[in-house]
Amino acid sequence: MTSFLKQHINKHISISDTELEEFCNLFQHEIIKKKSFLLRDGDVCRFEGFVTKGLFRVYHIDKNGAEQILYFAMENWWITDIDSFTNERPSQLFIEALEDSEVLLISKKDKEFAYTNLPAIEKLFRVMTQKTHVALQRRMIDNLSKTADQRYLDFIEKYPQLHQRLSNLQIAAYLGISHEFLSKIRNKIASKR
């Protein structure tokens, strides 16, 4: 299972085989069945995870009971509640497997060990953090400046392999619109083709 993680790391940084092996040995392999939770609201997130198989959704339920999906994580994506993990505070998020999934998990203690003893790993997480900030900034700008139609088209263009694995309800929750409104957008797009 660590072969996917090794490939991912080698795309981002230069690291010796010895350091790479030592880092990968810090992870625990977990199998998560479809509809099972890796994290629930109120629990402290004790991991950062790398998805090797399957698909997860990370979401929050607002005071009105509406589901708000922050992001999806499929193969070769990282998954965590960074606030809960970093600050050791109860999570406000759920992380649920949408398919039978496998994930490699690293604890905060082992990640800190890697930062101290494997300098290249600190660079890896700095690079990944920067990419995450860019993606979040772009998503916020899109949510503020684009119509729901544009956001939907951008989503299916940017994530074609992901969009096919999700229900319309899940896509609507990610876009922050109702399922009915998403159906109207899809019908409008289909009529133009």
Mean pLDDT per 10-residue interval, the chain, length 193 residues: 91 94 97 98 97 97 92 96 96 98 98 94 93 92 93 92 90 91 89 79
Which residues, 6+ apart, have CB-to-CB distance to 140 below 8 Å? none
pLDDT of residue 188: 87
In contact, 13 and 127? CB cutoff 8 Å: yes
pLDDT of residue 174: 92
d(CA 13, CA 39): 29
d(CA 1, CA 104): 8
d(CA 189, CA 98): 27
In CATH terms, 2-116 corresponds, of 3.30.43.10, 3.40.50.10490, 3.40.50.970, 2.60.120.10, to 2.60.120.10
Q: How far is CA 146 from the centre of its chain?
A: 22
DSSP reduced 3-state for 164 = coil
In contact, 173 and 67? CB cutoff 8 Å: yes
This prediction's pTM? 0.91
pLDDT of residue 121: 94
pLDDT of residue 190: 83
Other Cβ atoms less than 10 A from the Cβ of 66: the count is 11
Which amino acid, residue 92?
Q
pLDDT of residue 44: 98
pLDDT of residue 126: 93
